[in-house]
């Protein structure tokens, strides 16, 4: 379960200060597939960055699976991200010097139990439909395929929570559909909690619930379970 209380995020200082989040309270149940939607600048990516421990809020609390994650040290946050969160970025975020297989097994290699990591990575790439392209490098596959590799990488350590920041934004319609169906399948089959930021209204049909953000606040009534 993910719980956020009174989350604020202010960028800059003094006159240049911009308030991206103005007091977010939300709760996402385990196994839910939730979309965070809103206009550009509504704070949805900022919220996901905070939930993914990629950035720190100005104030507020975040609990993920009963852990007060903001009280963790930098080292503990890294370990938490590695083992318990999967994160899919908006743009391609693979390491260009590693093959897609290596990109996927790197987090497994870094985990505390790196057994069979190569086999698991190959299996994961099989799930996202890239089982035959293990030795290819990111530059040698399409954007949609790169995003699927990123999803496989996010899932390799079997995290309970998958966070995805506009994962279909840079994909064509067909690739986007493949990715969203894959999320749906993972959510149904593995019971994974998925929080996805999107601005595409048609993505609504894939998710259990939509949280609408506007001007750094949740639109009243949109956070109901």
Partner 1 sequence: MKYISVKSIMGNLAITLFLAYKSILKGNRWVPILLVLVMAFSFVNLIFTASIITGVMRTMDKQLVDAVYSNIVLNPEDDDYYIDHVSQVQKQIEQAPGVAGASTHLDSSAFFEYQWKEKQTQTDKGKSGTWKVIGINPEQEANVTTIHNQMIEGSYLTEDDRDEIVLGVEIAGGDITQTEAFLTLGGVKAGDKVRLTYPDNIQREYTVKGIFRARELQADLVAFVTQKEMASVLGRNIFYDRASQILIRSEPNIDENILIAEFRDMGIKGEIRSWSEYGGAMRSTISTFEIIGSLINGVGLIVATIVMFIVIYINVINRKRQIGIMRAIGIAQGTIIGSYLVQALFYAGSGIALGWIVVRFLLLPYFINNPLDLPIGLVSLTVQPLTMGSSTAGLILAAILAGVIPAWAIMKQSIIKVIWGT
Instruction: Tell how far CA 88 is from the center of its chain.
Output: 5
For the chain, the C-alpha Rg in angstroms (whole number) is 17
Listed ranges 20-28, 103-111, 168-176, 191-199: which one lies at the site for partner 1 (CB under 8 A): 103-111
Contact (CB, 8 A) for 61 and 5: yes
Closest approach of partner 1 to the CB of residue 148, in Å: 16
Q: Concatenate the DSSP letters of all residues of 48-69 into one string.
A: HHHHTTSS--SEEEEEETTEEG
Using CB under 8 A as the criterion, what x/- string covers residues 31-70 for binding partner 1? ------------------x--x-xxx--------------
H-helix or E-strand spanning residue 5? strand 2-11
| Tokens linked to 204 | 């609504």
Residue of 29, 95, 119, 172 interacting with partner 1 (CB under 8 A): 95
Measure the CA–CA gap between 77 and 66, rounded to whole angstroms. Answer: 14
Our finding on whether 153 is near partner 1 (CB under 8 A) is yes
Residue of 16, 66, 75, 115 interacting with partner 1 (CB under 8 A): 75
With CB under 8 A, what is the number of residues at the site for partner 1? 32
Our finding on whether 82 is near partner 1 (CB under 8 A) is yes
User: Among all chains, which residue has been given the structure tokens 């985990």?
Assistant: 111
Contact (CB, 8 A) for 162 and 154: yes
Residue of 3, 59, 106, 134 interacting with partner 1 (CB under 8 A): 106
Instruction: Tell how far CA 142 is from the center of its chain.
Output: 21
Residue of 89, 101, 117, 206 interacting with partner 1 (CB under 8 A): 89
Our finding on whether 222 is near partner 1 (CB under 8 A) is no
Cα–Cα nearest to 198, from 176, 223, 172: 176
Name the 3-class secondary structure at 165. strand
Question: Based on CB atoms, which residue is closest to partner 1, 14 or 96?
Answer: 96
Question: Based on CB atoms, which residue is closest to partner 1, 66 or 97?
Answer: 97
Closest approach of partner 1 to the CB of residue 95, in Å: 6
Which residues of the chain form contacts with partner 1 (CB under 8 A)? 49, 52, 54-56, 74-75, 78-83, 85, 87, 89, 93-98, 102, 106-107, 109-110, 112, 114, 137, 153-154
């Amino acid at each position: 379960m993910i719980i956020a209380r009174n989350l604020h995020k202010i960028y800059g200082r003094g006159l240049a200060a911009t308030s991206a989040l103005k007091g977010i309270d939300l709760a996402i149940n385990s196994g839910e597939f939730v979309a965070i939607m809103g206009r550009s600048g509504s704070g949805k990516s900022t919220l996901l960055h905070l939930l993914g421990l990629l950035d720190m809020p100005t104030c507020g609390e975040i609990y993920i699976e009963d852990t007060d994650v903001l009280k963790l040290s930098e080292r503990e946050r890294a370990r938490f991200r590695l083992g318990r969160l999967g994160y899919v970025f908006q743009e391609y975020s693979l390491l260009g010097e590693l093959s897609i297989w290596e990109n996927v097994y790197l987090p497994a290699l870094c985990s505390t139990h790196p057994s069979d990591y190569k086999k698991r990575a190959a299996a994961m790439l099989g799930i996202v439909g890239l089982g035959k392209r293990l030795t290819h490098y990111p530059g040698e596959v399409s954007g949609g395929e790169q995003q699927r590799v990123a999803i496989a990488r996010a899932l390799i350590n079997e995290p309970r929570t998958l966070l995805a920041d506009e994962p279909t934004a840079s994909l064509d319609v067909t690739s986007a559909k493949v990715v969203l169906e894959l999320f749906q399948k993972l959510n149904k089959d593995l019971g994974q909690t998925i929080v996805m930021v999107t601005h595409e209204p048609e993505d609504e049909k894939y998710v259990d619930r939509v949280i609408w953000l506007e001007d750094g606040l949740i639109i009243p009534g949109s956070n109901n379970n």
